[in-house]
A and B are shown apart, each in its own frame.
Chain A
Amino acid sequence: MIARNILIIKFIYIFALQSRELVKLKWSFLYQKNNKNYLNIETGRGDSEIDICEIKNESVMEQTNYYRDLMVKKHIKSDFIFPSLSFRTLGKAMSTKGVNDIIVRLSKVRGSSFSALNIRNLSNGHLFTHEYINTELKPSLRDKFFKCKSCGKLSKWRNDKLCEECSVLGNRDYNKSGYVYFIKAIDYDYTKIGIANKNVNDRLKTNQVGNMYELYLMGYLQSPDFKDMEQEIQSKLGKYI
C-alpha cells in the first residue's frame, strides 16, 4: 500500500494529474515505442481526449515496474495502475476521494496539510518556471491529442471532433449521426424499428420494461440520415403492422 501511495504522489507531480485522471490510469496506457516510455492520460469523459506524456525519468519507470511486480506477488489483479486495496473493492478503480485522503494523511505525518490539487498546481507552476524538486522528480509536458469521431485515430489537439482528413472528406455530419435500431422478440416474429440518438442499448432496456416477450438487439444502422432511413424502412414494412 505504501509503494502505491508514494507512486501516486510522484505520478501526480510528474504528470500534473488530477485525481479523476489518476484513478482512470490503466496498465495498458503505459507502453514503449521506439525505446521510449509513454503514458496515455484520459483527460475528458471517456477516451475522446487523451494526453500523451513521455516518461523521461528512468527511476520512475523502475519504481513503477517494481510496484507492478509487487502487485503480482501479492496476487492483486487489476487493469488499473492504482487500484483500490480495501477489502470490498479490491482491484477496482479507486475513488477520487480515496486519492485525496491518502495525500492529506501523508502530508499530516510531515506536519503540513496539502491536497492532490496543491501538488498538481505545484507541478504546473514548476513546468512554467522550469523548476523541479530534484533531478529524479521533474514534471513532464503533456501533449494533447483527441480521438477523431469518424475514423477513431488519435490526432494532435484542435478544437474539433474530426481529424483533418475526415474534415476534408466532408464527414462533418457524422457528429449528428444516430442509429436506426432493430429490437426483436426472442422466438417470435415481432420486431421494433426505431431511432436512437446516442445509445442503442439504452433503447433495449427501456423497451424491455413492461414487455411480455424477452427482447434482444438484432442490429442497427448508423448514419447521419437515420431519421429518413427509419421512415423508409417503416413504410416498406407498413403492411406488417
Chain B
Amino acid sequence: MRGEWFNVGKDDVIEVIKELGYIDIFTEVNQKDEG
C-alpha cells in the first residue's frame, strides 16, 4: 500500500502502460503540467 516514487515523467509512465497493454483501462485525470 505504500507505493513507490520513480524518477520518471508522464510520457515514460504512459509508455510503460502501453507496453503492458493496460492503456485501454487507463483513466487520465488531468494534465496540469503539460507544455
Residues of chain A touching chain B, judged by Cβ–Cβ distance below 8 Å, are: 181-182, 184, 186-187, 189-195, 203, 207, 216-223, 229-230, 232-234, 236-237, 240-241
Contact = CB atoms under 8 A, between A and B. Distances in A.
Interface in B1-35: 1-10, 12-13, 16-17, 19-20, 22, 25-30, 32-33
Contacts of B20: 229, 232-233, 236
B29 to A, nearest CB: 5
Nearest to B23: A221
B4 A189 contact: no
Given A218-B29, A223-B25, A189 B8 contact: yes
Given A192-B5, A192-B6, A232-B20, A216 B30 contact: yes
A233 B13 CA distance: 9
Contacts of B28: 218-219
Contacts of B22: 221, 223, 229, 233
Interface of B: 1-10, 12-13, 16-17, 19-20, 22, 25-30, 32-33
Contacts of A186: 32-33
B25 A194 contact: no
B6 to A, nearest CB: 5
Contacts of A187: 33
Q: Nearest 10 A-B pairs (CB), nearest first? A: A194-B3, A189-B9, A219-B28, A216-B32, A240-B7, A217-B29, A240-B6, A186-B33, A237-B6, A240-B8
Nearest to B28: A219
Contacts of B32: 186, 216
A190 B6 CA distance: 6
Contacts of B9: 184, 189, 191
Q: Which of A194, A220, A233 has the most CB of B within 10 A?
A: A233
A236 B16 contact: yes
Given A184-B33, A232-B20, 4 more contacts: A187-B33, A189-B8, A191-B10, A194-B1
Given A192-B4, A193-B4, A236-B20, A221 B25 contact: yes
A87 B18 CA distance: 54
Contacts of A240: 6-8, 12
Given A190-B6, A216-B33, A237 B16 contact: yes
Contact of B3 (A190, A193, A221, A241): A193
